[in-house]
Amino acid sequence: MATIRCMCRNIRPLNNFEPPATSDEVYAAALQYVRKVAGTTKPSQANQEVFDKAVAEIAHITGHLLEDLVSSAPPKNRDVEAAKARARAAVRYGRPA
């Protein structure tokens, strides 16, 4: 079995946020995942239907996953997490926060 080394950086954690992830956020994560796996951001006309179906199915099952996950940690605040991400990026890329 192959080991997954990294995932697309554009897919953000969606679990344990207040307010919960929106359907648009879940769809965006599913779209990024399918793009990464398929190796394309824009499928050919011949593959558009299966591409769209995969995105819809992955978004659907991801929604169920997020509904069913439990956590003992307090919910994360989106603004605080975004500020942390900006600070990490500033350090990584040598720019002021």
Give 12-46 pLDDT, tens digit per residue.
889 999 999 999 999 999 999 999 999 999 999 99
Instruction: Give the span between the Cα atoms of 28 and 11, in whole angstroms.
Output: 8
Give a yes or no: residue 38 inside a domain: yes
Cβ neighbours of residue 9 under 8 Å, at least 6 residues apart? Answer: none
Q: Structural domain of residue 50, as residue ranges?
A: 15-68
3-state secondary structure of 37: helix
Give a yes or no: residue 21 inside a domain: yes
What is the count of structural domains for the chain?
A: 1
Give a yes or no: residue 79 inside a domain: no
Contact 60, 92 (CB under 8 A): no
Dmax over CA atoms of the chain, in Å, equals: 46
Tokens of 60: 């659907």
Give a yes or no: residue 29 inside a domain: yes
Give a yes or no: residue 83 inside a domain: no
pLDDT-based confidence at 8, cuts 50/70/90? low
3-state secondary structure of 68: helix
